[in-house]
């Protein structure tokens, strides 16, 4: 996505289990005997003590190496100690506080390679400015699950999913298991509501964001429009897009500006970059300010239409005994 070579420091037998057919070629691995000095300066993407926010960090001079590590164990100690700087991706979500490692790398490069920067918004009441979120037509269950994981990590407790290609609801048991694992469902409290982007929604403002849309760069578009604003993340591998005007009268487009267009498209990466930018614009919750938990009346502009019939799986007693 960024025209940068990607190498793996294989210390856990990844190359041994790698499938060149599924991976599109041999695993590009770093020789374990390579001195760490050859990788300097190192920018570690890690929530280590003293780490700076990725939103206001710069790359050091020279030819730096951006290092991301295991999602659970982090970056190995020798590389972390050799890093000239540590950068973290602020994640206000509850339960899920890490991203898929490829998604974390995409967010880090998107901001570290940016030619211009905009200051963080230190606004109070960011929860009231959070837009509604809709994922549209994911083409792969793992990509959908990873995007849902990113939404949870960046603070969304509710999202709508237009599952017109049937990759999330009503899928096989194997697909359901893989998709929910990618979403970290055992810790993810985000509610996923089945809905349709073809129905009339009535949001006052709709922002459709992606890498292939025709619109201004993402960072120039206001993504913190509150519950009357709907942030739409379509899977751009699916050619047929809905009539966005049915979601609301004012439709805007925001483009994830990337330095190259010749890359294998991955829905989770584009979606996570958009969610990170929305979180940046919302700003951190001010210290000492408790979330406003007062019950609010429903507004038609923020209501989501749901199907009249539930999506269920029927399991026979024989299947249960076999399982």
CA 168 – CA 191 distance, rounded (Å): 13
Task: Supply the pLDDT for residue 241.
Answer: 84
Based on the fold, state whether residues 39 and 165 are members of the same structural domain.
no
Instruction: Please answer whether residues 217 and 253 qualify as being in contact, where contact means their C-beta atoms are separated by less than 8 angstroms.
Output: no
Q: Are 177 and 255 within one domain?
A: yes
Number of domains composing the chain: 2
What's the pLDDT at 47? 87
Residue 2 falls within a domain, yes or no?
A: no
Residue 169 lies in a domain: yes
How many angstroms separate the CA atoms of 248 and 271, rounded? 21
pLDDT per residue rounded down to tens, the chain (323 residues): 998 988 888 877 888 888 888 877 888 888 777 788 888 899 999 988 889 999 989 899 889 999 998 877 888 888 899 999 999 999 888 888 889 999 999 999 999 998 765 555 545 556 789 999 999 999 999 999 999 999 999 999 999 999 999 999 999 999 999 999 999 999 999 999 999 999 888 899 999 999 999 999 999 999 999 999 999 999 998 878 889 999 999 999 999 999 988 888 999 999 999 999 999 999 875 544 454 445 455 555 555 565 555 567 788 888 888 88
45 and 151, same structural domain? no
The CATH number of whichever domain residue 223 belongs to comes to 3.40.1280.10
Judgement on whether residues 87 and 144 belong to the same structural domain of the protein: no
136 lies in the same domain as 82: no
One domain, residues 80 and 164:
no
Q: Is the peptide bond before 220 cis (omega within 30 degrees of 0)?
A: no
Rounded distance between C-alpha atoms, residue 122 and residue 155, angstroms: 16
82-109 core/surface letters (b: 16 or more CB in 10 A; e: else): bbebbbbbbbbbeebebbbebbbbbbbb
137 with 268, same domain? yes
SS3 content of the chain, % helix, strand, coil (to 5): 25, 15, 60
- Please tell me the distance from the alpha carbon of residue 209 to that of residue 275, in angstroms, as a whole number: 10
| Structural domain for 43, as ranges | 20-112
Last residue of a domain, one of 112, 146, 167: 112
Is 156 inside a domain boundary? yes
**38 within domain boundaries:** yes
């Amino acid at each position: 996505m960024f025209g940068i070579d990607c190498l793996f420091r294989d210390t856990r037998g990844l190359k041994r289990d790698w499938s060149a057919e599924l991976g599109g070629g041999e695993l590009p691995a770093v020789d374990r005997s390579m001195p760490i000095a050859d990788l300097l300066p190192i920018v570690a993407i890690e929530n280590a003590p003293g780490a700076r926010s990725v939103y206001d960090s710069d790359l050091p001079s020279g030819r730096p190496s951006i290092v991301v590590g295991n999602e659970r164990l982090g970056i190995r100690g020798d590389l972390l100690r050799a890093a000239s700087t540590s950068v973290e991706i602020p994640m206000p979500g509850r339960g899920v506080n890490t991203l898929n490692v490829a998604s974390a790398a995409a967010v880090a490069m998107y901001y570290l390679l940016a030619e211009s920067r905009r200051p963080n918004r230190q606004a109070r009441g960011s929860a009231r400015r959070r837009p509604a979120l809709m994922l549209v037509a994911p083409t792969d269950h793992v990509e959908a699950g990873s995007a849902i994981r990113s939404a949870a990590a960046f603070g969304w407790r509710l999202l709508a999913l237009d599952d017109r290609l049937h990759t999330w609801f009503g899928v096989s048991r194997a697909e359901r298991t893989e998709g929910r694992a990618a979403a970290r469902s055992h810790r993810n409290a985000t509610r996923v509501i089945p809905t349709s982007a073809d129905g009339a929604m009535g949001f006052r403002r709709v922002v459709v964001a992606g890498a292939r849309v025709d619109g201004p760069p993402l960072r120039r578009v206001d993504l913190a429009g509150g519950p009357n604003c709907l942030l739409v993340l379509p899977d751009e591998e699916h050619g047929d897009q809905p009539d966005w005007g049915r979601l609301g009268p004012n439709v805007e487009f925001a483009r994830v500006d990337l330095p190259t267009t010749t890359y294998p498209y991955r829905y989770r990466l584009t979606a996570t970059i958009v969610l990170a930018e929305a979180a940046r614009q919302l700003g951190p919750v001010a210290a000492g300010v408790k979330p406003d938990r007062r019950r609010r009346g429903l507004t038609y502009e923020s209501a989501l239409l749901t199907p009249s019939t539930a999506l269920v799986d029927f399991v026979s007693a024989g299947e249960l005994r076999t399982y």
